[in-house]
Amino acid sequence: MPNSIYIHIPFCKTHCPYCNFTVKLDHTGKLFKPYIQALCQEINNRTLNQDNNLIDTLYLGGGTPSILPIELLQELFETLYSVFKFSSGAEITIECNPGTADEHKLKDFKKLGINRLSIGVQTFDDQLLQKLARGHNVKQAKDIILNAKKQGFNNISLDLIYGLPNQTIQSWTESIKQALELPIQHISCYGLTIEENTPFAKIYTNSQNPLLPPEESLEKMYSILQDLCSENGFEQYEVSNFAQKGFESKHNLNYWKNTDFWGFGVSAHEFVNGKRKANTQNLEDYIKNPLNNQELLETNPALEDFMLPLRTSLGLNLKDYEIKYKINLLAGKDDLIRDLLKQNLIKLENNYLKITPKGFLLSTEIIGRLMP
């Protein structure tokens, strides 16, 4: 049984024009309570008569989980603590957006046992934040981080996005520098992708759009990020993630190791006993019937066990892979391996195949070329 739990909270203050997640704007909050009740029902029922493992990581993602009133989070945690036993050093993360958690709420998060915050800052440029319609400004972003520190949080991550419309190299560099001056231990950085059926898809119809930074700028932004993080003691441990030593996200590391995890809530995915499943994406349907609405997804363990570890700096254990799948990943690829090694895009170390920091920028292409 899994040692990790993911819980999806679908509510947000605004719907950011680039986001294609299952998100519900509920300014009155009238769906909050029914949703938490449905979630608790799902957790209770699906874990009934199970021999549950000790939980090492719990991740509340969304959406914006920090939007929920503390009483409802309490209700959810009471259910979780009654169903699962948590290990003493369990990592318990909540995603927060600036402007949704003041000092009191942050203090209450601590009381619930939450010990890690993942804060959606995205950029420290007010003009860009306005274009992203995030509903917060730079001051609010800094306030939540400083308040969290004041309340005793010492495991704080923030999200940044590069490749935003009108974003310059200078603005990006400034954002990273400002992030690194704050009391944080972890940074996740993603390049903007223009997702179908989003307002951004209508505006920025193709990647040649002059408002979007060109490919060369994106490469430059990524390498500036790598350099500044490394100079400031943030090690790159995955394509998009950087952390001070000991502050790597245990929850995400479990995903990349392709280990089991529970998933509860609307649109939540899970991987339990070798089966990958997804809950319905329809919030009303989920609230009405939080049970028996899971869909079985296809899995390809050999492919997942190949692709996921290669995203991390630890890399892929070739020997273990060969024992498990009877596939020698390097066989017949001499020229390709030599070429990638020569370009310093991969390295081979003690039976591990690793993509180098230089290679991370091209990780999708490299993984594609090395595919079994």
The sign of the CA dihedral 255, 257, 261, 267 is positive
Measured distance CA(39)–CA(214) in Å, rounded = 43
β partners of residue 149:
none
Tokens representing residue 226 in the block: 């790598």
- Our finding on whether 12 is near ligand SF4 (CB under 6 A) is yes
> Shortest gap between Cβ of 23 and ligand SF4 (angstroms)?
5
- Our finding on whether 16 is near ligand SF4 (CB under 6 A) is yes
Q: Which is nearer to ligand SF4, 21 or 32 (CB)?
A: 21
Tokens representing residue 349 in the block: 């170390």
- Our finding on whether 15 is near ligand SF4 (CB under 6 A) is yes
Exposure of 366 by Cβ count < 10 A (0-12 exposed, 13-18 middle, 19+ buried)?
A: buried
117 C-beta neighbours (distance < 10 Å), count: 25
> Shortest gap between Cβ of 67 and ligand SF4 (angstroms)?
9
Q: Which is nearer to ligand SF4, 72 or 345 (CB)?
A: 72
> Shortest gap between Cβ of 190 and ligand SF4 (angstroms)?
11
- Our finding on whether 189 is near ligand SF4 (CB under 6 A) is no
Measured distance CA(258)–CA(147) in Å, rounded = 35
Amino acid at 319: K
Nearest to 242 by CA among 231, 65, 172: 231
Q: Which is nearer to ligand SF4, 119 or 346 (CB)?
A: 119
Q: Which stretch binds ligand SF4 (CB under 6 A): 17-25, 47-55, 99-107, 260-268?
A: 17-25
Measured distance CA(209)–CA(46) in Å, rounded = 47
Q: Which stretch binds ligand SF4 (CB under 6 A): 16-24, 200-208, 253-261, 314-322?
A: 16-24
- Count CA atoms within 13 Å of residue 81 on its CB side: 12
Q: Which is nearer to ligand SF4, 190 or 325 (CB)?
A: 190
> Shortest gap between Cβ of 242 and ligand SF4 (angstroms)?
20
Q: Which is nearer to ligand SF4, 131 or 354 (CB)?
A: 131
- Our finding on whether 283 is near ligand SF4 (CB under 6 A) is no
Q: Which is nearer to ligand SF4, 97 or 185 (CB)?
A: 97
Residue nearest to ligand SF4 (CB): 19
244 contact partners, CB below 8 Å, separation of at least 6 = 185, 186, 233, 234, 235
Angle, helix 215-231 to helix 169-181, in steps of 10 degrees: 20
Measured distance CA(102)–CA(225) in Å, rounded = 29
Query: Of 110-149, which residues contact ligand SF4 (CB under 6 A)?
Result: 120
The one among 7, 9, 23, 189 contacting ligand SF4 by CB under 6 A:
23
**Which SS3 state, helix, strand or coil, does residue 108 take?**
helix
Query: Of 88-117, which residues contact ligand SF4 (CB under 6 A)?
Result: 97
Binding mask 46-65 for ligand SF4 (x = CB under 6 A): ----------------xxx-
> How far apart are the two ends of the chain, measured CA to CA in Å?
29
> Shortest gap between Cβ of 27 and ligand SF4 (angstroms)?
14
The site that binds ligand SF4 (CB under 6 A) totals a number of residues, namely 11
Give the interface with ligand SF4 as residue ranges (CB under 6 A).
12, 15-16, 19, 21, 23, 62-64, 97, 120
